[in-house]
């Protein structure tokens, strides 16, 4: 099949495109190579993908609708997987406009491209952050998510709403993924695991927010990719819910699916696994909760398991060790 993957030089986009190519598909990857973090990491990811004859890279900002439309028309995808976004909860406090430009305007242009091409399935990345101030655990897709706490979460919720309107108006089968704290090799340098490993190896303290009283539903990258691939073959059909817990829209082929295992891990236990994998103790700098952050996330994985027959199950002990092995190899430390 022919795929268009946005954000193909990003952490998740790279792994998804790599898997699609390994499965024999044709992939066009779009990435703006923004300098939010070290662009060399993005370039190295794309260089790996470009070894495959079925991959074509396009360096395009999604805000440039003409360039996007041209690339999309040439790719003529059957499925679009939209993973490009301005990520990061904390950075959204510093530069909120970047989230509107990328996550709202950029997503609108992807929706227009999907409409023009009449794709078989449009798949869009969202985030567990949209659950915002929700305190009922685990987070279910059918629960309201009306109180985002950051511009990052708000921009992703806006993207979900826009995608729903397009699914209704133009009958575009659309699946929204809500990702839960994804980690693993080739991960983003702004995320906790990367920062903790780097600082511990450098002999620097790590910042532990809310004095360690936090829990996250960590999702290993291989599990997430498997879920995305399986969901690709489970495009929503209007009027055909998969279960009573299905988030299928009553007015169009649109569904929201959590991608998380439903097994939150305490932050202090996560840090302990990093210490074990590195063979070093961390110097911990305990800090207050950051604005916009939440103490706990927990996914309901019931709908994901109903649709795909599986859920993320990789223990953090294994996932952290995989990341540490990659980090040591990549940075020669």
Neighbouring residues of 108: CB distance < 8 A, sequence distance ≥ 6: 162
Q: Which two tokens stand for residue 145?
A: 């998510």
Is residue 294 within 8 Å of residue 218, measured between CB atoms?
no
Q: How far apart (Å, rounded) are the C-alpha atoms in residues 301 and 88?
A: 23
The catalytically annotated residue of 152, 183, 209, 254 is 152
Task: Look up 152 and say whether it is catalytic.
Answer: yes
The CA distance from 327 to 333, in Å, is: 8
Q: Which two tokens stand for residue 310?
A: 């599986």
DSSP sequence for 56-95: EEEE--TT-HHHHHHHHHHH--SEEEE------TTHHHH-
Residues 6+ apart with CB under 8 A from 151: 92, 93, 96, 99, 100
Strands 219-220, 55-59: pairing kind: unpaired
What the block records as the tokens of 328 is 């040591």
Q: Which residue from 110, 90, 103, 93 is spatially nearest to 30, judged by alpha carbons? A: 110
Active site residues: 152
């Amino acid at each position: 099949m022919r795929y268009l993957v946005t954000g193909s030089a990003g952490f998740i986009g790279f792994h998804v495109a790599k898997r699609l190519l390994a499965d024999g598909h044709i992939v066009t990857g779009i990435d703006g190579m923004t300098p939010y973090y070290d662009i060399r990491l993005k370039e190295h990811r794309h260089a790996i993908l470009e070894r495959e004859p079925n991959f074509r890279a396009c360096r395009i900002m999604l805000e440039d609708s003409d360039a996007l439309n041209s690339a999309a028309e040439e790719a003529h995808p059957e499925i679009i997987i939209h993973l490009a976004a301005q990520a990061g909860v904390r950075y959204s406090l510093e530069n909120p406009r970047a989230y509107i430009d990328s996550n709202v305007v950029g997503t609108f242009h992807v929706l227009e491209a999907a409409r023009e091409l009449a794709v078989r399935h449009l798949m869009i990345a969202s985030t567990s952050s949209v659950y915002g101030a929700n305190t009922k655990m685990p987070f279910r897709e059918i629960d309201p998510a009306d109180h985002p706490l950051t511009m990052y979460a708000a921009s992703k919720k806006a993207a979900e709403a826009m995608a729903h309107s397009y699914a209704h108006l133009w009958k575009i089968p659309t699946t929204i993924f809500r990702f839960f704290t994804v980690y693993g090799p080739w991960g983003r340098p702004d995320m906790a695991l990367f920062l903790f490993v780097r600082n511990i190896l450098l002999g620097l303290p790590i910042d532990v927010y809310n004095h360690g009283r936090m829990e996250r539903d960590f999702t290993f990258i291989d599990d997430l990719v498997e879920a995305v691939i399986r969901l690709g073959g489970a495009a929503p059909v209007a009027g055909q819910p998969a279960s009573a817990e299905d988030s299928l829209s009553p007015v169009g082929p649109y569904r929201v699916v959590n991608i998380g295992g439903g097994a939150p891990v305490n932050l202090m236990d996560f840090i302990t696994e990093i210490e074990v994998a590195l063979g070093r103790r961390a110097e911990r700098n305990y800090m207050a909760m950051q604005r916009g952050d939440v103490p706990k996330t927990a996914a309901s994985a019931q709908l994901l398991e109903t649709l795909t027959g599986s859920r993320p199950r990789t223990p953090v002990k294994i996932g952290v060790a995989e990341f540490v092995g990659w980090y040591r190899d990549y940075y020669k430390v």
